[in-house]
A and B are shown apart, each in its own frame.
Chain A
Amino acid sequence: MSPADWLELLRLHLTLSPLAIGGAMTLAPELHRALVVQHAWLSEAQFQACLTLAQATPGPNVLYIALAGWTVGLQATPGPLLQQALLAVLGLTIALVGVLLPSSLLACAAGHWLRQHPQHRGVRAFRQGMAPVVVGVMLSAAWLLARSLDLCADPSQPVPAAIAVVSTLAVWRTRMNLLWLIGAGGLIGAFGAFGAFGAFGGLGGLGGL
């Protein structure tokens, strides 16, 4: 990648940042167009892997953009390992700072202004008026994630849906540490409960023949 390419990478992220209303995931189509289709800095599979890995690991979803920048840098120029690692860090930094800086300055400025005018009628109407929308978004996020994980797709595999229901009750009714829940979910998954129940369902199908 030439210096002009690095500048273009920075410009791309800086201009996308103020458009990210609704969070980092809303930028995925536009980033895909620029990184994969327009510049071919990433392959289709690499971009998908960035999205999937960032979803699967802990932390805010915006990190898929950091990982995409890292991958762009990593394969920017063939060379010794150290040089590639440094370029990967450069790509990651450009992507993450670029996508966060404009929106963060705006958030700090807005927060500051609102603190200065806490009694303003419009400010209070806005803060209290948005509360139902926030609740709706959170419930929708649960539903959409359940749908993307296909939790209820197969009635012969009740374990994933049961994990979700038990976690819901545990979060709602108890104060237990979430890490225990996440660990338990991971263990049940890894020990093949999903697969075992899949096989069980399959055997049931055979019994019907």
Chain B
Amino acid sequence: MTAPATGPHPRNARELFWAFSHLAMQGFGGVLGVVQRELVERRGWMSNEEFLEEWGLAQVLPGPNVCNLALMYGWRQHGPRGALAALAGLLALPLLTLLLVASVFRLGADQPQAVAALRGMGAVTVGILAGAGIKLLLALRSHRLGPLAAMTLAGLATLGITWLDLPLPAIVAGVGGLSCAWVYRCLRPGERAAG
């Protein structure tokens, strides 16, 4: 789907840079849950459905998923400059933070309190991922395959990863392949995209 002509969107590359900086600095243990929170809910730059589509593509392509998403989203909004701005925003501040923390740890600061604080923040990250996951699961109610089929496929993917320990490419090929083929059959040839 293409970007909606109306509604909020980043005005320029600088705004893209700061938006992605802001979401990157909230992502402890990965940025997956925060992207949905920031881009869909706080800024309204995309809908849950658009987010799922963008992320599906970013996930299938090689490379860090969130970097792929930043590049594709940034490019669509403001061309190559936008792509670079979004990627730079995603990486710059977290990289400086990481180097700072790494330097401190090298000096021998091994504080159990800091470790415990990080564990507490990690527990919050679990909640961010789970909360965003629940909202996106509910967004599947309007999926083309119908709520039951779409949520069952999501459940299969979850079980495959957590219970069977299948690698992601296998999940994408198996559950994703089945799902895509099913949607393909439901789409009539020549039908206009909704929205």
Q: Is the CB of A100 within 8 A of B175?
A: no
A23 to B157, CA, bound (A): 17
Asked whether any CB of chain A lies closer than 8 Å to the CB of B7, the reply is: no
Extra pairs beyond A61-B29, A132-B154, A168-B126 (11, CB < 8 Å): A21-B169, A23-B63, A24-B63, A49-B105, A67-B102, A92-B95, A133-B154, A160-B120, A163-B127, A171-B135, A190-B116
Interface on A for B, CB 8 Å cutoff?
17-24, 26, 49-50, 53-63, 66-67, 70-71, 92, 96, 100, 102-104, 106-108, 110-112, 114-115, 118-119, 121-122, 124-146, 149, 151, 160-161, 163-172, 175, 178-179, 181-182, 184-190, 192-195
Q: Provided the pairs A111-B75, A189-B116 are in contact, do residues A57 and B97 lie with their beta carbons within 8 angstroms?
A: yes
Task: Determine the chain A residues whose CB is within 8 A of the CB of B56 once the complex forms.
Answer: 126-127, 129-131, 133-134
Q: Which residue of A lies closest to B170 (CB)?
A: A22
- The answer on a CB contact under 8 Å between B136 and A138 is yes
Select from chain A the residue with minimum beta-carbon distance to B66: A60
A128 contacts B143, C-beta separation under 8 Å: yes
For A126, the chain B residues whose CB sits under 8 A away are 56-57, 180
Chain A residues with Cβ below 8 Å from B153 are 132-133, 136
Q: Tell me if A111 and B130 are in contact (CB < 8 A).
A: no
- The answer to whether B62 touches A20, judged by C-beta atoms less than 8 angstroms apart, is yes
> Is B4 an interface residue when CB atoms closer than 8 A count as contact?
no
Whether B101 and A103, one on each chain, are in contact in the complex, defined by CB atoms closer than 8 angstroms, is: no
Report how far A76 CA is from B33 CA in the complex, Å: 37
Asked whether A140 and B189 contact (CB < 8 A) given A100-B64, A125-B183, A135-B52, the answer is no
Are B120 and A164 in contact, CB atoms less than 8 angstroms apart?
no
State whether the Cβ of B8 lies closer than 8 Å to any Cβ in chain A: no
CA distance A163 to B116 in the complex (A): 13
B53 and A128 form a contact (CB under 8 A): yes
Q: Roughly how many angstroms separate A197 CA and B184 CA in the complex, as a whole number?
A: 53
A142 in complex: contacting residue of B83, B91, B130, B189, CB < 8 Å: B130
A135 vs B29: C-alpha distance when bound (angstroms): 18
Q: Determine whether B39 belongs to the interface, using a CB cutoff of 8 Å to chain A.
A: no
Q: Chain B, 146-181, contact with A by CB distance < 8 Å: what is the 0/1 string? A: 000011011111101110000111011001100111
CA distance A165 to B75 in the complex (A): 37
**What chain A residues lie within 8 Å of B192 (beta carbons)?**
119
Listed A/B pairs (19) with beta-carbon separation below 8 Å: A17-B63, A21-B169, A59-B31, A59-B98, A66-B98, A110-B61, A115-B2, A121-B184, A121-B187, A131-B56, A136-B161, A137-B32, A139-B130, A149-B119, A163-B120, A188-B120, A190-B113, A190-B114, A195-B116
Give every chain A residue within 8 A of B157 (Cβ-Cβ).
Answer: 132-133, 135-137, 140
B126/A151 in contact, CB under 8 A? yes
* Nearest 10 Cβ contacts at the A-B interface: A167-B127, A59-B94, A189-B120, A136-B157, A171-B131, A103-B63, A130-B56, A129-B180, A22-B168, A125-B184
Q: Return chain A residues, CB-CB under 8 Å to B125.
A: 145, 182
A56 contact from B28, B140, B155, Cβ within 8 A: B28
Of all chain B residues, the one with the shortest Cβ separation from A50 is: B102
Contacts of A133 in B (CB 8 A): 56, 59, 153-154, 157, 171-172, 175-176, 179
Q: Which of B60, B66, B123, B175 contacts A151 (CB 8 A)?
A: B123
Contact of B122 among A104, A137, A149 (CB under 8 A): A149
Partner of A138, one of B75, B99, B133, B151: B133
Q: A131-B52, A163-B123 are in contact. Are A58 and B27 (CB under 8 A)?
A: yes
**Interface members, chain B 25-57 (any A CB < 8 Å):** 25-34, 37, 41-42, 49, 52-53, 55-57
